Structure 1
Amino acid sequence: MQSDLPMGIWPCKELIDCTIDGLISYGIVQPGQHDNEGVPIVRVNNFNNGRLDISNVLRVATSIEENYKRTRLSGGEVLLTLVGSTGQTAIVSNDLAGWNVARAVAVIRPSQEIGAKWINICLQSAETKRFLDDRANTTVQKTLNLADVKNIPIPIPPISVRHGIESVITSINEKIDLNRRINQTLEAMALAIFKSWFVDFDPVKAKIAAIEQGEDPLRAAMRAISGKTDAELDQMPREYHAQLVATAELFPDAMEESELGEIPKGWAFQTADLLTEVGIGKTPPRKEPQWFTEGEGDWRWVSIKDMGTSGVFQQRSSEFLTSEAVSRFNVRVVPDKTVLLSFKLTIGRVAITDGTMVTNEAIAHFKLPLAATISSEYLYLYLKNFDYSTLGSTSSIADAVNSKTIREMPIIVANSDLIGCFTKSVIPIFEEMRNRQNEIATLGATRDTLLPKLLSGEVEVPA
């Protein structure tokens, strides 16, 4: 049926009339016991900036999934989150055929005439977000009703206009996605170097093995650091060869016992509060809404759901605090380039602040002194590699980890010259990631400003 809701100069249809089967459904209500061999399902926490992050997937027993064939995926569907972080969307790729979705996710099967790209773009418009926000139930947590979702107005311009808008928005989204993928690669590179040097101790172990075999330990460490063969080392430019030699010399050639197992000789574990000033955020009284804003405010106020949405650097927050709230409730201000760590309920999300901000009480921040032994980059990568299950039993870790536990977290500290050398080598990687995040933010703002104007016909697509 035609919708009488205004969406610019184009006629509209309700979302339900843009589907193949006239059906929009939510997924598995009671997943029950999951197992490694069951059917994977998409949950709200798998949505990440318009894409599906399937690195952490829940599987449910086949016998349970059999009862939800109506939401079994075949590829090409549009998914919409209904609970918690509502209004997130993603298009299902063909390689997820046979998967299913959780209760908090709606499955939309666009008609061939309309297409998944167009539905996905319209669902991300400011008009649709306002439509859903006005109808969301927020009694316990934000929830969308399927009846309202089915009534979402979808503008239907002429097909040439539609394809033009799709082309413009898709082009911007692809640039954003490319930057995100490059940043993921850059972060993986930095994590791999850190793990090799400060977790697996590869250069140290290479020296030890070389000594035992009567070989040159320095040469062995150089191979471990660079991943090059002896022949490739000999062909390196003199300047880079000299830098590699200097780096390899900084690693010891023996291990020694510590309270947490064997570590390189001369290194030590120190607690977080000896290396940094550990602070915990705060939440003003929720019953007094005057302290909070959702659009813009005096202070970005970071919660766990905000962490990881931007990337390595924490740039955005979904809520803001007023300056009066920060002052009145003594909310700690977190400086620029400070490492954040979530430690309640969702444990182990890590980010580095991009500018000053504040956080809630589920997030710890590690303020480095002026003459710090470690760097923000070193600490970030250490916390990303850290095994948080060591902080409490697997079943009770969410309850076991508290601010005292965080302050007493053991952090391995190598000699200062080596940490300085490492930091110098990864700073360009982190700066590149920050620059690309800034570009992503700019592109996203451009898209979000342009989309409503395109959909309303205020801005015409290029012919």
Structure 2
Amino acid sequence: MSSEWPLIKLNELCLKITDGAHQSPKSVTTGKPMASVKDLTRFGVDLSNARLISEEDFTVLVKQGCKPEVGDVLIAKDGNSALDTVCSVDAELNAVLLSSVAILRPDKSKILTSYLKHYLSSVDVIDYLKSNFISGAAIPRVVLKDFKKADIRVPPLPEQEAIASVLEALDSRIKVLRETNTTLEVIAQALFKSWFVDFDPVRAKAEGRQPEGMDATTAALFPDSFEESELGLVPRGWHMGTVSDLGEVICGKTPPTSQPKNYGDDVPFITIPDMHGRLVVTSTGRSLSRAGADSQKKKYLPAGSVCVSCIATPGLVVRVSSEAQTNQQINSVVPLEKWGKSFPLFLLRRIGDAVRVSGSGGSVFHNLSKSGFESLKVLLVHQELAQRFDEAVEPLVAKIMENQLQAQTLTQLRDTLLPRLISGQLRLPEAETVLNDRDIAE
């Protein structure tokens, strides 16, 4: 039980507690990745958007101990997300870290990497750590010399291994669902690009070939030649339009926060943090009360609406899965039925990708007004072709949403079990029974 598990200082459990580089080398276009707190996820370090530094600077920082080793635990150390994100290094990571990430090297004879990672991820533990080891009002920071004194409850190694295995089974399933969704979205994006950006079927027909991977009925919907437009050559019969041609555009609004009655659990209230890393929004950090939402009835979005962030972090594009509202940083399109659901989503998603690549500072989305958003130029196709795209892609989007909802359920289960397991309040057989009931246990 928990009373039998001793509290031990973190520095007594680790062979090394340090952080990444305190100097920030110049970025280069080709080089080695340097990760910071923004690249940390619960499932590891995501280097896809990490900046690159020269080989020479990389070598220097490796010698300084800024490259984590397999078995290390990494934790967000600086910034608004300090102590919120923890992960382990489970495979060789060819990257160095900035000082915003702390590196913990567990003494495996005392504490297991997987147990320490999960322990530090518990909401109760995070609250304890934030209350005692964060300083700085403007920019929250963890001071390592103090952090080393944190008390960690340590069960025997066999118990640690058993606890970690239960939690790893949940994390593994969540990770698989996330990876599956990434693959499904890539497939949908690739089809949109082939049909509506690269014009592969049109090029095939123009060369007298049958378009690949489609039936004759679908192929017949594509023209067999091109014509000049303000975008250059586009398929004959397609035309330039604006976002407003896709459907009604609604700019969000925030009900007065000074009136608590505006907020509750009735209507999802989408803000930019809810849009990161998603194709479909199935949960939100905040919700409005029915009274709060009804105070701005013209801001309601029906399921299937497409939200586009236009201020602060521009270029994020998601679909609404249920009736919702957004704040004023987001413009949304309620698509006309003739366009289907997927064509407007991936058309705007394509624009959003270009915006994020170019950066928010100089993009057309930077502080974009509702009227400016409505007037953005888009290439429109025949509605029959949009409907055919919808038939091909909607099953993928539906599966993405199903997987995302399942991942949310598993995340809630994990976050419920975690504090009870590491405190000893929940015995392992009970936790394993829950996993077996949900067909999760390994």
Compute the TM-score of the two structures, normalised by the length of structure 2.
Answer: 0.85
Residue 279 of structure 1, CA deviation: 2.0
Matched, 1:251 2:219: no
Q: How does 1:174-193 map to 2 (within 5 A)?
A: 174-193=172-191
> Of 392, 399, 406, which aligns to 2:373?
406
Q: How does 1:435-454 map to 2 (within 5 A)?
A: 435-454=402-421
The residue aligned with 2:39 is: 46
Distance 1:89 1:292 in 2: 34
Compute the TM-score of the two structures, normalised by the length of structure 1.
Answer: 0.82
Matched, 1:74 2:69: yes
Q: How does 1:31-430 map to 2 (within 5 A)?
A: 31-61=24-54, 66=60, 69-82=64-77, 83-86=79-82, 87-97=84-94, 99-113=95-109, 114-135=111-132, 136=134, 139-140=137-138, 143-146=141-144, 149-210=147-208, 217=209, 220-221=210-211, 223=212, 225-226=213-214, 244-283=215-254, 288=258, 290=260, 297-309=265-277, 311-323=278-290, 325-326=292-293, 332-369=299-336, 372-386=337-351, 388-389=354-355, 396-397=362-363, 400-403=366-369, 404-430=371-397
Residue 316 of structure 1, CA deviation: 2.4
Distance 2:12 2:329 in 1: 43
Where 1:341 maps in the other structure, the secondary structure is strand
Matched, 1:18 2:13: yes
The residue aligned with 2:401 is: 434
Contact 1:391 1:400 in 2 (8 A): no
Distance 2:428 2:51 in 1: 41
Residue 306 of structure 1, CA deviation: 2.4
Distance 1:390 1:42 in 2: 19
What whole-Å deviation, never above 9, does each CA across 1:136-165 have from its counterpart, x for those lacking one? Answer: 558435554445643443221122211111
Contact 2:112 2:157 in 1 (8 A): no
Q: Cα distance 1:460–1:300, how it changes in 2: closer, same or farther (>3 A)?
A: same
Percent identity, aligned pairs only, is 27
Unaligned 5+ runs, structure 2: 433-442
Distance 1:392 1:186 in 2: 25
Distance 2:122 2:356 in 1: 44
- AA paired with 1:36? T
Unaligned 5+ runs, structure 1: 1-5, 211-216, 227-243
Distance 2:129 2:334 in 1: 40
Where 1:59 maps in the other structure, the secondary structure is strand
CA RMSD of aligned residues (A): 3.0
Q: Cα distance 1:314–1:389, how it changes in 2: closer, same or farther (>3 A)?
A: closer
Q: Cα distance 1:163–1:427, how it changes in 2: closer, same or farther (>3 A)?
A: same
- AA paired with 1:43? S
Distance 2:6 2:301 in 1: 49
Aligned residues: 422
Residue 359 of structure 1, CA deviation: 2.4
Q: Cα distance 1:390–1:94, how it changes in 2: closer, same or farther (>3 A)?
A: closer
Residue 7 of structure 1, CA deviation: 6.5
Contact 2:177 2:407 in 1 (8 A): yes
Q: Cα distance 1:14–1:285, how it changes in 2: closer, same or farther (>3 A)?
A: farther
